[in-house]
Amino acid sequence: MRPLWMCRNCGQPWPCGPARLSLLAEYKGERTALILYLSGQLAEARDQLGQLGGIGSPADLTDRFIGWARARG
């Protein structure tokens, strides 16, 4: 749900657990493409949430959108 960036299904901040699983399946084997997609979504969310005054910490927003998708060592 934009501009709040909440999941329509569960009401949690997007990308929620189910959305993350869906994105991992959709981008299976294409981690770089997933990160690029999420980076675009992060930029859009930062703009929209910033207009609402609810952006929070930029580091937290980056972790929310991209941190989980980074390849684990």
Q: Which residues contact 50 (CB under 8 A, 6 or more apart)?
A: none
Q: Whose CA is closest to 41, among 21, 64, 18, 24?
A: 64
pLDDT greater than 60 at residue 73 = no
User: Tell me, what's the pLDDT at 55?
Assistant: 67
User: Tell me, what's the pLDDT at 72?
Assistant: 67
User: Tell me, what's the pLDDT at 51?
Assistant: 85
User: Tell me, what's the pLDDT at 58?
Assistant: 84
Give the model confidence (pLDDT) of 4-61 as tens digits.
Answer: 899 999 999 999 999 999 999 999 999 999 999 999 999 999 999 888 886 678 889 9
User: Tell me, what's the pLDDT at 35?
Assistant: 96
Q: Which residues contact 26 (CB under 8 A, 6 or more apart)?
A: none
